[in-house]
Structure 1
Amino acid sequence: MMEVSFLATLALFAATMTGTPGPNNMMLTASGANFGFRRTVPHLIGISLGVASLIGVVAAGLGAVFQLYPWVQEGMKLLASAYLLYLAWRIARAGAPSEDASSDRRPMTLMEGALFQYVNPKAWAMAVSAVGTFTLAGGDYWLSSMVIVITFLIVGLSLTSIWAGFGVWVGKVLSSEKSWKVFNRVMGTLTASCLIFIWV
């Protein structure tokens, strides 16, 4: 039987992991500002589903691959770093939404948001920590794993929505093409700085 204190601690852990600055939230802020909340929703849902499914994968035992084959994790870090730098570059070079209206710029899709979690070492570390800390032994293992997945879905979707909403607010404040370019360059730089979370 799971006590209220267990659920509260799990929810706080999920909030700390999903609500603090990181690559997902930096990209959501930039997306909210540039594309609006509605067009950012698939990206939001993709992140939450990606994290939740990753926790399920780790709970099923596949997280042990990192312990058996450390080179897999190192390769994933390199892949994640390259992709994150590419995304940061795309954000940084963007102008005002009106300026880019005829370009091929678009927010990330649900699938892209979900798959990014599988090359995001921070997401893997979060999943491993959640499963290692909050799963219960014996017959309650799978029930507790499901509770972790559901908690991260609810808490994560709620808090990442705030980051996207913050981006929407920023988008309304920015009034000139110059301010848009400065904002996007700052967000691109902050996204690139999230490499720290990958390698530390």
Structure 2
Amino acid sequence: MTPEALIALFALALGTVWTPGPNNALLASSGARYGFRATIPHALGVAIGFPVMVFATALGLGEVFRAVPLIGEVLRWIGAALLIWLAWKVFNAPAPGTQKGKGRPWRFIEAAAFQWINPKAWIMAISVISVFVTGTAPLLEAALCAGAYLLAGLSSAHGWAGFGAALQRFLSTPIRLRAFNGVMAALILMTVYGLMFADLTA
């Protein structure tokens, strides 16, 4: 992979992982509810779990989607239902410190596992390998794609968690908290809309 291609790959990785989506909305919501430190396992699960999925997809898992389009369609509808449910949970999340607000942030393994059923993650993974994995050096190309997303993901996951944590004091009133939850839920629902028209076999 040429230096120019590496720069383009990293720029794409930064652009895709920083844009609003289910992971970032959930990280911001967790940061706001539980604080930055408590959300670190969630952030690491996202930042590491997705590159692992990219690596596996680049080594051939993406071919399964091309060979069996039904898998992509099943993922599309199951993923949409899951994201709508998550949006509802985020929108109705109670204030931390209340009896109903008792809970915990996601663990590392939960966040990492979520990548495998997150439709936006699949769209991103399939898109990047269709552009940057040529097959001339599959292992190296897979590792470079995964590495780019690891570096970019560490910055975005912790950035979104920090963004939510920074708003904790501002969100101390019920109206502000509900508005914030509504925005985060809307970001997740926007992904559902995009998912309906996405090509999972590209």
TM-score by length of 2: 0.88
CA–CA separation in structure 2 for the residues paired with 1:124 and 1:88:
19
Deviation at 1:156, TM superposition (A): 1.2
> 1:23-64, CA deviations, whole angstroms, 9 ceiling, x for partnerless residues?
111111111111111111111111122211111221221211
CA–CA separation in structure 2 for the residues paired with 1:20 and 1:100:
33
Q: Note the residue ranges of structure 2 that are not aligned, 5 or more in a row.
A: 198-202
**Cα–Cα, structure 1 residues 133 and 106, in superposed 2: closer, same or farther, change >3 Å?**
same
> 1:141-183, CA deviations, whole angstroms, 9 ceiling, x for partnerless residues?
3112111111110111112211111111122222323322332
Residues 77, 119 of structure 1: 8 Å contact kept: no
User: Superposition pairs for residues 12-161 of structure 1, below 5 Å?
Assistant: 12-100=11-99, 103=102, 105-138=103-136, 140-161=137-158
| Aligned residues: CA RMSD | 1.8
CA–CA separation in structure 2 for the residues paired with 1:5 and 1:100:
54
User: One-letter code of the match for 2:167?
Assistant: V
User: One-letter code of the match for 2:133?
Assistant: T
Deviation at 1:3, TM superposition (A): 3.5
**Cα–Cα, structure 1 residues 100 and 197, in superposed 2: closer, same or farther, change >3 Å?**
farther
Percent of pairs with identical residues = 36
Report the count of equivalent residues.
197
The residue aligned with 1:199 is: 196
Residues 118, 124 of structure 1: 8 Å contact kept: yes
Residues 120, 198 of structure 1: 8 Å contact kept: no
**Cα–Cα, structure 1 residues 66 and 167, in superposed 2: closer, same or farther, change >3 Å?**
same
Q: Note the residue ranges of structure 1 that are not aligned, 5 or more in a row.
A: none
